[in-house]
Amino acid sequence: MLWRGLHKTVTLSVAVDLHPAGRGRRIWLLLAADYRRLMRSRAAWLLWALVAYTVLFIPFILNSPQEEFTRVVASWIGPDPAGGKMVLFIWIDVAMNKLALIMGAVLASGIIVDEKARGSFDLLLSKPVPAGDYFIAKLGAALAAMATFYLSAAALALLTFPWRVQGFPTGNFIALSSVHLFAALFSVTFAGMAAAVFGNRLVAMLVTIIVIGLLVGLAFFGFYHPTRPPSPMSIPSFTA
């Protein structure tokens, strides 16, 4: 049924003239159809469950972090009497980085690959819809789906964390989540690129998880392996 709906959208979109405005409308129609397909898929239900699990259980970690973990965080980002830095660190690194990694691989690693596996890609190319436009529409739909899941998780956290987490930094949370959203969108874009390059869903998922996971890990390398401060004896003196 979803494929028939997408095929109907393609059929309607090709009736539009081939001038730039018509091309934009075709891409938009394809994007909207694929966004609806993604949000109604079984994978979407799994991702909604991950969002709900994250918002439900992260406050338990925030309210009772391990003493060693708290000490390490304090040594890296400085004293945090109110716990605000700890809240932001756990939400972004422990929760949303992993969630963005999984969502990116799930939402975009099947771009073009799934159509080729079903044998429907050649049919789409028989219409006056360039493969590049189809890829842009599919990637745009995956990006829109990621933004929906991410912003929903942030909105639920904003609604529930202030009364579940002591010292919740609302303003800083909004600012940091707004910036981190682009990291989540990059995960989707990379997965779509991997799908187009390798032409295999499983390979694209594995490459996305490995590469994005390494980027996330290296971003926090200084936290997990902090360098020792230089000894006073090793600092050259320029005083007379």
What is the band of 9 on the pLDDT scale with cuts at 50, 70, 90?
Answer: very low
- The percent of residues above 90 in pLDDT, for the chain, comes to 40
What pLDDT score does 172 carry?
Answer: 87
In this predicted model, which residue has the larger pLDDT, 55 or 25? Answer: 55
What pLDDT score does 226 carry?
Answer: 56
- pLDDT above 50 (res 10): no
Rounded-to-10 torsion of CA 130, 135, 140, 143: 180
Separation CA 114–CA 122 (nearest Å): 12
Mean pLDDT of the chain: 79
Cα–Cα distances in angstroms (integers) from residue 196 to residues 31, 54, 109, 144, 208, in the given order: 17, 31, 9, 19, 12
Residues 6 or more apart whose CB falls under 8 angstroms from that of 10 comprise: 30, 124, 127, 129
Structure tokens at 143: 């990006």
What is the band of 230 on the pLDDT scale with cuts at 50, 70, 90?
Answer: very low
What pLDDT score does 169 carry?
Answer: 86
Residues 6 or more apart whose CB falls under 8 angstroms from that of 219 comprise: none
Separation CA 197–CA 190 (nearest Å): 10
CB 204 within 8 A of CB 113: yes
How many alpha carbons lie under 13 Å from residue 238 in its C-beta half-sphere?
Answer: 0
pTM for the whole structure: 0.78
One-letter amino acid for residue 107 of the chain: L
- pLDDT above 60 (res 170): yes
Radius of gyration of the chain (CA): 23
Task: Kindly report, residue by residue over 105-131, the tens digit of the pLDDT.
Answer: 999 998 888 777 766 665 666 666 777
CB neighbourhood size of 68 (10 A) = 8
Task: Report DSSP letters for 181-203, one per residue.
Answer: HHHHHHHHHHHHHHHHHH--HHH
Lowest mean pLDDT among 26-35, 94-103, 106-115, 119-128: 119-128
Chain Cα centroid distance, residue 240: 55
What is the band of 183 on the pLDDT scale with cuts at 50, 70, 90?
Answer: very high
What pLDDT score does 1 carry?
Answer: 47
